[in-house]
Structures are given as C-alpha cells and as structure tokens.
Amino acid sequence: MCLTRETVKFFLVNDFTHIFGNYSEVPDEHYFINIINKYNIDYINKRITFVNWEKPYTHPTTYTILTPTILEKMRSEGCLFARKISKDLCYSR
C-alpha cells in the first residue's frame, strides 16, 4: 500500500484501531482500506508489489534466479516492487 502525505496525516490524527480489538490476527489487511472507504478518501486501486501465486493454496513463489522472462513478467504488470526474492538471488541471461 502506498499512501499520500494527506492520507498519512489523516491516520496519524485519527486513531480507529480500537474498533478491531486486541484479537484481530491481521488488522493491517483490513484497517486502512475500511477506514479509507468509510471516510470516502480517494485512492487508486492498483497493485504495486509483484507476487507470484501461480500455485494456488500454497505460499508465493520465492525467486532464487531471475531470468529476462521473469523480469519482463514483473515489469509488464506495472508493479514497483517484487516479493519473495531470495537473499541468494542469481541473475540469468
């Protein structure tokens, strides 16, 4: 998620975390978008992090090798970041 300075200021000034209580396992996945929608704050619904979920019901693919084909796939989706890149990453040409 990428927020504008104005939206960040809104969240700093207005704390609604008590709504979710102490037992929510992933409050960040619900908190921001629900508050943004409730208060009609404009946003662009665009994915900014590439994650490969080609194998459903498993974990995302971790990349240990990046080929030109994989890089092109990441770029073609317009993402700014990529998730699950190994610390031992190798580039392949």
pLDDT digits (tens, 9 = 90+) for 7-36: 999 999 998 888 777 776 777 778 888 899
Mean pLDDT of the chain: 86
90: nearest Cα among 53, 54, 63, 58: 63
Residue 50 exposed, middle or buried by CB count within 10 Å (0-12, 13-18, 19+): buried
pLDDT digits (tens, 9 = 90+) for 26-83: 777 788 888 999 999 999 888 889 998 887 778 888 888 888 888 898 889 888 898 8
Q: Six-digit token pair at 36?
A: 């943004």
